[in-house]
Structure 1
Amino acid sequence: MTLKPPPLLRASLLAAITVPLVLWLGLMLGSSGWGWTSPEIVWMIRVPRVMAAFGTGAALALGGALIQLVTRNPLSDPHVLGVTSGASVGALVALMLLPASFAFAPELGAMLGALLSTSLVFLLAWRGMGRGLLPGAQSGSIVMLLVGAMIGAASSAAVSFMLAIARDQQLRNLVFWLLGDLNGVTHWWPVWAGLLLAMLLALPHARELDLMSRGDGWAWTLGVPVARRRRLAILASCIAVGTAVATAGSIGFVGLVAPHVIRLLGLRAAQWLLPFSALFGGVFLVLADAVARTVIAPSQLPVGVVSAAVGVPVFLLLLLRRGAHK
C-alpha cells in the first residue's frame, strides 16, 4: 500500500517548489524574449510586474476564499458575486472625479465600491439566505449568485455610462481597469499592504470562520458572534479585492480557482485554506501574466483574458458537478 503524505506537508512542498519556480519564470519571460535582458528592463519592468501579479492573484484568492466561507457556497467568487465589478466602478469614479494628485484615489474608490457591492448582495439576498440557518442555506446561496449576477450587470451598465461621458484623455486610464491588465504597473506595494491587512483581520478568527461555514445556527450555539465575524470577513475580502482591482483592473475567476485547488489537496480548515489559497492565487496569476505577454509576442494580451479562459471552464465544471450530486 502506498502511503500519501499529509495534506499540509503535500501543500507545503508544492508551494516551496512552485512559488520560486514561477517567480523565476516571470522574471525570465517577457514580450522581448526569454532570458535576463538588460538590468533596466528587469528591475524597472519585470520585477514590479511580477510582484504586482503575485500580490493581485493572492489578494483575489484570499477574497474568494473568505466569501466562500461566509456564504457556504464553493461557487462564490468576487467576480461572480459582482464584487470585482463594483470595485471597478469605484476605481473609475475616483479616477474621473478626483484630481490626479489625490493619493491612492483608485485604491480607496475600489475598496468603497467593493464594500458597497458586497453589502448590496448580502442585503438583497438576506431573505433568501434564511438568515444562514440550515433549511434555507442552499436556496439562499443560489439567490446570492443571482443577485451577484445582477449587481455585476448593473456595474457593467455604470461602466458603459462612464465611458460614454468620459473625456478623450480619460479614456485610456478608464479602459485599463476594464481589461484586467498588468502592463505598465509600477506601484505594486499597495496590493501587498491590502493583502497583509486582510490576512491579519481574518486569520486570527479562522476557527470561528470554520464553524460559520457549517451554518450560522451551529456557530451561534457554540458562542461565535456570527454577525460581527461576517462583517469582519466581508471587510477583509473587500480590502483585498479592492486593492487588487486598483492595481490590475478587473480580473475574474482567480478567487474561484485557487481555493478549490487547495481543497483538492485536502486542506479545508480556514487557518490553512486562507494562506495557501493566497499562495496559489499568486502563482496562478504570475503564470497567466507570463502567458499573456508571450503567447503573441511582441504584442501582449490582457491577463484577464487568460484567467477567464481557465476560470470559465472550471466554474462550469463545478456547477455541473454540483448539479449531478443533487
Structure 2
Amino acid sequence: MSRRVPLVLSLLAAGALAAIVLGLAAGSSGWGFAAPDIVWRIRAPRVLAGFGAGAALALSGALMQLLTRNALAEPYVLGVSGGASVGALSAILLGALGGAATEWTIAAGAATGAFAATLLLLALSWRVLARSGISGVQEAPVSLVLIGVMIGSATSAVVTLLLTFAPELQLRGMVFWLLGDLNGATHWSAVWAALLLTLALTWPWAHELDWLARGDAWAATLGVPVVRRRRQVLVASALATGGAVATAGAVGFVGLVAPHALRLLGVRQAPWLLPASALAGGSFVVLADAAARTVAAPVQLPVGVISAAVGVPAFLALMLHRPRGSSR
C-alpha cells in the first residue's frame, strides 16, 4: 500500500464530515442553521439521501471499471439507470392520470424499472460470461459494455416517448428527475441498504478484483472463480445503481469521475478504492446539492447540473497536472 493512501483516506473521511455539516447548513433561503425541526425533518434526510446516492454511484463506478478494465466505464453503462428512469417517469405519468404521484410511488417505479433492467442484463449476459470463461480475456468485458449500451439505448428511446406524451404540468418534474433531483428526497434508508449490501457482497474479496483487472488467465491461476466473480460484481453494481437512481434520480458524472480521480491520487488497490470511492462520491453529491440549493436561492437547481459544472473542470485539471506514470 502506498504511503499516500492513508493520507487520502483520512482526508476523505474528514471531507465527508465537513460535507455533511455544510449540507445541513444549506437551505433554499441561503446558508445557516434553521430551526431544529427543519434541520432534522427536511435537511438531514436530504443529506443522507444525497450522500448514500453519491456513494452508491461512485462504488458502482469503481466496480464497473474494475470489471470491464475500462477507465471510461460508469454505472449507467449497465442500462440500469435507464430502466429506473422508465419506471420513475411511468409512475409520474400514472400519477398524473389517477392523482398526484408521491415520492414513494416514484421511488417504487424507479426500483421496479431498475430491477427489470437488471434481470434483462443478467439474462443477456449470462451466456456471454459463461462462454468466455478464462479464455475470453477481452470478450466478456467488451460484451458487457455492448449489452449495457444497447439496453441504455432502448430505455432512452422509451424515456423520449414518455416525455413526448407527458402533460405539460408534469414535464418539468420529469426533466428535473432525469437531471438528478434531491428536492423532497426523504427515503434515504433504501439507498443506504443498497450501498451497505453492495459493500458486503464485494469488499471481502476485493483483492480478487485487482487480479481480475490484470486479466482473467492471471486471476484464474491465483484461484479466482472468474465467471462467478464477474456475475457477483454485475449484480452488486446494478443493486447500487438502482438504489441510487431510485433515490436521487439520474445523477450523472459521479460514478465515472470519483474512482478515476482517486486512482490519479494513488488509491488504486480495490480494497481501498471501494470505500474511498464511496466517501468521495457521497461527499461530492452532498456538496453539489448544497450548492444547488443556495447558488440561485430561492430557486433550487438540479444537482446533476452542479455536479457536472463543478466536477468536469476539476477532473480535467487533475488529469492535466497529474505526474507522469501515475495512471494504472
Same fold at TM > 0.5 = yes
Question: More deviation in 73-82 or 13-22?
Answer: 73-82
- For the 8 Å contact 2:87–2:112, the answer to whether it is kept is yes
Gaps of 5+ in 1: none
Partner-residue secondary structure (3-state), 1:273 = helix
Q: Deviations over 1:100-142 (max 9, x none)?
A: 7998623531431441464488579x59xx94879963x9867
| Map of 1:283 onto structure 2 | 283
| Map of 2:182 onto structure 1 | 182
| Map of 2:23 onto structure 1 | 26
Cα deviation, residue 7, structure 1: 2.3
Mapping 1:55-94, distance limit 5 Å? 55-93=52-90
| Map of 1:226 onto structure 2 | 226
Cα deviation, residue 311, structure 1: 5.0
- Counterparts of 1:12 and 1:289, CA distance in 2: 23
Q: Is residue 250 of structure 2 the alignment partner of residue 250 of structure 1?
A: yes
Mapping 1:82-231, distance limit 5 Å? 82-93=79-90, 105-106=108-109, 108-116=111-119, 118-119=121-122, 122=125, 131=132, 137=138, 148-166=148-166, 174-231=174-231
Cα deviation, residue 35, structure 1: 1.0
For residues 160 and 153 of structure 1, do their structure 2 counterparts lie closer, same or farther at Cα, with a shift above 3 Å needed? Answer: same
Q: Deviations over 1:48-107 (max 9, x none)?
A: 111111000000001101101110011100135544223322444466679979986235
Partner-residue secondary structure (3-state), 2:57 = helix
- Counterparts of 1:212 and 1:158, CA distance in 2: 35
- Counterparts of 1:113 and 1:295, CA distance in 2: 37
Opposite residue 68 of structure 2, the aligned amino acid is: T
For residues 97 and 197 of structure 1, do their structure 2 counterparts lie closer, same or farther at Cα, with a shift above 3 Å needed? Answer: farther
- Counterparts of 2:262 and 2:121, CA distance in 1: 24
- Counterparts of 1:171 and 1:64, CA distance in 2: 29
Percent identity between the two aligned chains: 55
Gaps of 5+ in 2: none
Question: More deviation in 66-75 or 145-154?
Answer: 145-154
Partner-residue secondary structure (3-state), 2:186 = coil
CA RMSD of the aligned region, Å? 3.4
Q: Deviations over 1:10-66 (max 9, x none)?
A: 122202321111111111122212111122221121111111110000000011011
Cα deviation, residue 208, structure 1: 1.6
Task: Please give the TM-score of this superposition, normalised by the length of structure 1.
Answer: 0.82
| Map of 1:235 onto structure 2 | 235
- For the 8 Å contact 2:212–2:218, the answer to whether it is kept is yes
- For the 8 Å contact 2:125–2:144, the answer to whether it is kept is yes
- Counterparts of 2:47 and 2:147, CA distance in 1: 34
- Counterparts of 1:88 and 1:256, CA distance in 2: 19
For residues 310 and 122 of structure 1, do their structure 2 counterparts lie closer, same or farther at Cα, with a shift above 3 Å needed? Answer: farther
For residues 312 and 90 of structure 1, do their structure 2 counterparts lie closer, same or farther at Cα, with a shift above 3 Å needed? Answer: farther
Task: Please give the TM-score of this superposition, normalised by the length of structure 2.
Answer: 0.82
Opposite residue 25 of structure 2, the aligned amino acid is: M
- For the 8 Å contact 1:121–1:151, the answer to whether it is kept is no
Question: More deviation in 184-193 or 151-160?
Answer: 151-160
For residues 200 and 140 of structure 1, do their structure 2 counterparts lie closer, same or farther at Cα, with a shift above 3 Å needed? Answer: closer
| Map of 2:271 onto structure 1 | 271
| Map of 1:8 onto structure 2 | 5
